[in-house]
Chains A and B, each alone.
Chain A
């Protein structure tokens, strides 16, 4: 089916371009590394204090590295008028959105997979048993961030002040996702029973779904107009 083929082609193109240039991944990685270093050097924490502060620091790093990557997501489409080519392609524009979203989601996940072990080492965390739950939270949180970020990246790509406008528009909208992810991560790191923090996972899942549906629906209007 052409819809899924288009998604595949867009992910292929974005991954190949990134593999060649390494512009996004490297800037995201170094930014996250700087955040870890600053916090780990400036705060001397015991295990208990670390478990209270780490979720916030972790999602500051994930959110802001995500903003760097997401903000540049549609920049590649402005070279040689490629955005116009996407517009004129005889395809449902939702497929373009899902392709770009999937690419962004994968970039963010790759950076998170590299960064998270560094967090564990720098903050001396003992979280072996909680890894599957933290992976689920990262999946849901990253999906929410990238779902809304992909839409806003397309909206702001033609704006001159996009580097300022993009985070200003994105951050207020994804506050529920960040709060949900921080609270759920805190519960998981503390080893709390799931029922104590499952409402945050549900909140994440609901916002992911809402962001996906709204962004998918709005994307066609943004691209066409």
Chain B
């Protein structure tokens, strides 16, 4: 089953065309990693799939729903872990999780929240206000939210950024578990080594155009750009 389908997506900011007729199909249970130099349009594509931006032309279908017309259905199916942590500085970790899940109509038990926080390695900081969290802790908290939401499609912008070695391993363990349970992952990244451990497919975005390369190339010394 197709989880993500892009049909000739283009995006332009004024006269600058960031994405040029991108077509892509990703199946359920697949992990797709998108590489590309800075400014190639990786985050733009990710944010279109997350329904934050609208494509200038083309169509995209997420979990069977049109990304422009059925935004609420798409948003129910996806979860985005982006550079912004979406945390309120004056709320603690548990409160931030409760609010984020509350917006999705979920009300997890204290035990489930604790388990998720323990799993991402910040269980000891559950009562700490988010303003005191480091970038790595904020990323871990975002992953804890994702664990509790269990999205059908997980979108991640540089999932390994700000994380230490253990954190990166934790992310990969979680991603493996997600794909094995049938969820789909779309990530933008620069980390070839870490990504090669989990990804099934690799795309390279250069100057707004997408091409796919064998995932094996990540482990070799090819210049993928």
Contacts and interface: CB of A to CB of B under 8 A. Distances in A.
Partners in one complex: yes
Interface in B2-39: none
A39 interface: no
A89 interface: yes
Contacts of B85: 80-81
Contacts of A84: 52, 82, 84, 86
B104 interface: yes
A89 B84 contact: no
Interface string A63-87: 0000000000000100111101111
Given A76-B88, A80-B87, A84-B52, A90 B82 contact: no
Given A6-B102, A9-B102, A84-B82, A90 B72 contact: yes
Contacts of B84: 80-82, 84-85
Contacts of A89: 75, 103-104
A90 B50 contact: no
- Which bracket fits the contact residues of B? 20 to 34
A91 B103 contact: yes
Which of B78, B83, B85, B86 has the largest count of A CB atoms less than 10 A from its CB?
B86
B103 A80 contact: no
Given A6-B102, A20-B129, A91 B72 contact: yes
A21 interface: yes
Q: Is the interface of A mostly helix, strand, loop or mixed?
A: helix
Contacts of B52: 84, 87-88
Interface stretch (B89-97, B165-173, B197-205): B89-97
A85 B102 contact: no
Contacts of B130: 80
Nearest to A88: B75
Contacts of B78: 88
B99 A81 contact: no
A88 B80 contact: yes
A173 interface: no
Interface of A: 2, 5-6, 9, 12-13, 16-17, 20-21, 76, 79-82, 84-92
30 contacts: A2-B105, A5-B105, A6-B102, A9-B99, A9-B103, A12-B99, A16-B91, A20-B91, A79-B88, A80-B84, A80-B88, A80-B89, A80-B130, A81-B83, A82-B86, A82-B88, A84-B52, A84-B82, A84-B84, A84-B86, A85-B86, A87-B52, A88-B52, A88-B75, A88-B80, A89-B104, A90-B76, A90-B104, A91-B72, A91-B103
Given A17-B91, A80-B130, A84-B82, 12 more contacts: A5-B102, A5-B105, A9-B102, A12-B99, A20-B129, A81-B83, A84-B86, A85-B100, A87-B52, A90-B73, A90-B75, A91-B72
Interface of B: 50-52, 72-73, 75-76, 78, 80, 82-91, 95, 99-100, 102-105, 129-130, 138
